[in-house]
Amino acid sequence: MSSIDKSTYVEAMENLEVRTSPLTIDDALHLLRRATFHPTYQAAKALVGLAPSEAVSRLLSTPVAPLADLPWATTAPNYQDFAANARLWPEMQQWWMQRVLSVPHVHEKLIVFWHNVFTSDYIRVYIAQWMVNQHKLIRSNATNYAVLAEKIVGDPAMLRYLDGELNVKGRPNENFAREWFELFTLGIGNYTEQDIQDAARAFTGWRINGVQGVYSKQLADTDTKTILGKTGQWDWKDVVRITLESDVCARYIAKRIVKQFVEFYPTDDTITNVQQIVRSANYDMVAILQRLLSSEYFYTMSVRGALIKSPAELVVGLAASIGALRVQPSYCVASMTKLTQEPFYPPTVEGWKGHHAWITSSTFPQRQRFAEAFIDGRQAGSSAKLLDAEGKNFTPDVVAMVLQLPDADDAAKLVAHVASLMLAVPVTQKQLSVLLEIMLAGAQVYEWNVNSPSAPQRIKFLLQAIVRMPEYQLM
C-alpha cells in the first residue's frame, strides 16, 4: 500500500472530483466488491486500465437481463391456508438467490439496498404474491428513488406491513406515516409529531384488492393538513412531493448511499457533497452512482476495506470469487439466514443495521466455519457435501480458480495474487509468508506445482486460512 498524501486525501473527501487515473486490478476489485455481489478476477481484469468513469459507465449500462417470473406471482392470494403460503416463501427466497448468483449486475446490489430502505417481511406480509410483487416493484424502479418512493406507498406488501390498509379516514393509524419520515425519507429528528399525524391522514384512501393496491379519493381524508410547514388539502401524492422536495430528504438518501457503497462513518462534509449530487441528479441512481463510484473519494485508501460484508456479500462473494456460483440457492439462503440476514425477513422496519451489527461472538466464528466448509465442498456444521443447483454433489474447483491468475506456477506470487483477490485489505509481508507456509505445508517453494495431485488440498488450506482472517470479513 502506498502512503496516502494527506492533502489529496482531504481534498478528495471534501469534493467528489472525478478520478482520472486508470484503474489497477486492486481498484477494479474494490469497485466490484462495493457495486456488485461478484468481485471476480475475470470481471476486474476487464476493467483494468480504464478510466474510472468509463469502467463505472460500463457496469451501469450493461443491459439487465429479464427475470423469469415465479409462476404463481400473479395468482390470487390464499388468505386462509397458512401452509399454502408458507410453501411459497422459500421459493421466493431461492428465486431471488438464483438471480443474485447468476447475474453480476450493479442492479442486483441496488435492489437489495432499496429492500433495506423500504423494508417488509414475509411473516408479517404473509401473502407471498405481495412480497414478490414488492420485489418486482423495487426491481423495476431501483434506478430512481423518487419514483420508487411514490410507488411504494400503495404497494400491497407495504400496505400490509405498516398497516396502511388500516389507516382510514377519521381513524388514522400512524404506523406508515412515522416510518415514512423516520426511515424512508428524512431520518429521525427532521419532522414533528404533528407532521406524522397529518401525513397519516393524507395517506388514507388505500386498500388492497387481490394483488393490487387501490386508491379511492372518496375514502381519503381531503381536509386541510400541514406537512413540513406547508398547508393545504394534501393527499398522499402531495406528501410524497413535499417530502422529496426537502433538502433533508436528499441528505438522508445521500447518507444511506454513502454508508452502503463507500464508508459507514462519513463526515458531514462528505454527506453534503453527495447530497448535492443526489439533488442535481433528481434522485436518479444511475447518475448518482456514476458520479460517486468514479470519484477520487471512492478510491481513497482510507475507505477501502472499511466496511463489513453483509451475509449476502459474504456468501455470494465467496461463491463468485472461487468459481462456485452453481451452488444450490437454497443452501445460500440457509447460510445467509444463519448469519442473521434471512432474505425478505429483516429484523425490524429499520432493516439490517449492518456493519458492526453483523459481527458477534457467534456470527464471526459462524462466518469462518461457513467459508472454510464451502471451500472444502461441504455444508457448514455437517459432513454433507455442497450441492449444485441440480442437487448433485460438487466441490469448488480451486485449481481452476488459481489457474485463471497469472503466475500460478510461482508459489509466492500465487499466494500474493490469491490474497489480493480475496482480501480488500493489503496483506503484510509477514502474513504473506505465513500464508505461503500454510499452502506449501512443509514443501519447499521450488517444489510447488499447481498440477500436482496434492495441489487442490494445498490451495484449499491457503483459501481456508484466508477466510479465517478477520480481514476477510471486510470489503
- Residue 28 beta carbon to other proteins: minimum distance, rounded to whole angstroms: 19
Of 94, 129, 141, 175, which one interacts with other proteins (CB under 8 A)? 175
61 near other proteins (CB under 8 A): no
- Residue 308 beta carbon to other proteins: minimum distance, rounded to whole angstroms: 6
368 near other proteins (CB under 8 A): yes
Q: Are the beta carbons of 319 and 325 closer than 8 angstroms?
A: yes
437 near other proteins (CB under 8 A): yes
Cα–Cα distance for residue pair 346/249, rounded to 1 Å:
23
End-to-end CA distance of the chain: 16
49 near other proteins (CB under 8 A): no
170 near other proteins (CB under 8 A): yes
- Residue 227 beta carbon to other proteins: minimum distance, rounded to whole angstroms: 17
Cα–Cα distance for residue pair 267/34, rounded to 1 Å:
19
Cα–Cα distance for residue pair 339/29, rounded to 1 Å:
24
Of the pair 81, 193, the CB lying nearest other proteins is at 193
Residue 433 is inside which H or E element, if any? helix 429-440
Of the pair 176, 283, the CB lying nearest other proteins is at 176
- H-only helix segments in 46-192: 52-61, 82-102, 106-115, 122-125, 128-140, 145-152, 156-161, 175-179
Of the pair 1, 76, the CB lying nearest other proteins is at 1
Which residues in 121-160 contact other proteins (CB under 8 A)? 123
- Residue 391 beta carbon to other proteins: minimum distance, rounded to whole angstroms: 26
DSSP state of 213: E
62 near other proteins (CB under 8 A): no
- Residue 46 beta carbon to other proteins: minimum distance, rounded to whole angstroms: 27
Neighbours of 372 (CB within 10 A): 17
Cα–Cα distance for residue pair 312/83, rounded to 1 Å:
27
DSSP state of 291: H
Nearest to 342 by CA among 115, 141, 73: 115
Of 91, 238, 372, 407, which one interacts with other proteins (CB under 8 A)? 372
How many residues interact with other proteins (rule CB under 8 A)?
A: 66
State whether residue 295 is helix, strand or coil.
strand
6 near other proteins (CB under 8 A): no
Of 149, 274, 288, 303, which one interacts with other proteins (CB under 8 A)? 303
Of 197, 226, 276, 420, which one interacts with other proteins (CB under 8 A)? 197
C-alpha distances in Å from residue 291, one per residue of 242, 265, 298: 26, 20, 10
Q: Are the beta carbons of 228 and 195 closer than 8 angstroms?
A: yes
- Residue 374 beta carbon to other proteins: minimum distance, rounded to whole angstroms: 12
Which residues in 376-415 contact other proteins (CB under 8 A)? 376, 381
Of the pair 136, 369, the CB lying nearest other proteins is at 369
Of the pair 108, 121, the CB lying nearest other proteins is at 121
Of the pair 72, 215, the CB lying nearest other proteins is at 215
Query: Would you state the cell numbers that stand for residue 174, as one nine-digit string?
Result: 400512524
- Residue 223 beta carbon to other proteins: minimum distance, rounded to whole angstroms: 16
AA identity, residue 288: I
State whether residue 321 is helix, strand or coil.
helix
Of 77, 90, 210, 305, which one interacts with other proteins (CB under 8 A)? 305
Cα–Cα distance for residue pair 62/55, rounded to 1 Å:
11
Neighbours of 3 (CB within 10 A): 6
Of 304, 328, 335, 411, which one interacts with other proteins (CB under 8 A)? 304
Q: Is the Cα dihedral 304, 306, 312, 314 positive or negative?
A: positive
Applying CB under 8 A, the residues found at the interface with other proteins are 123, 162-163, 166-168, 170-175, 178, 182, 188-189, 193, 197, 263, 265, 302-306, 308, 340, 347-350, 356-357, 359-366, 368-369, 372, 376, 381, 425, 427-428, 430-431, 434-435, 437-438, 441, 461, 464-466, 468-471, 473-474
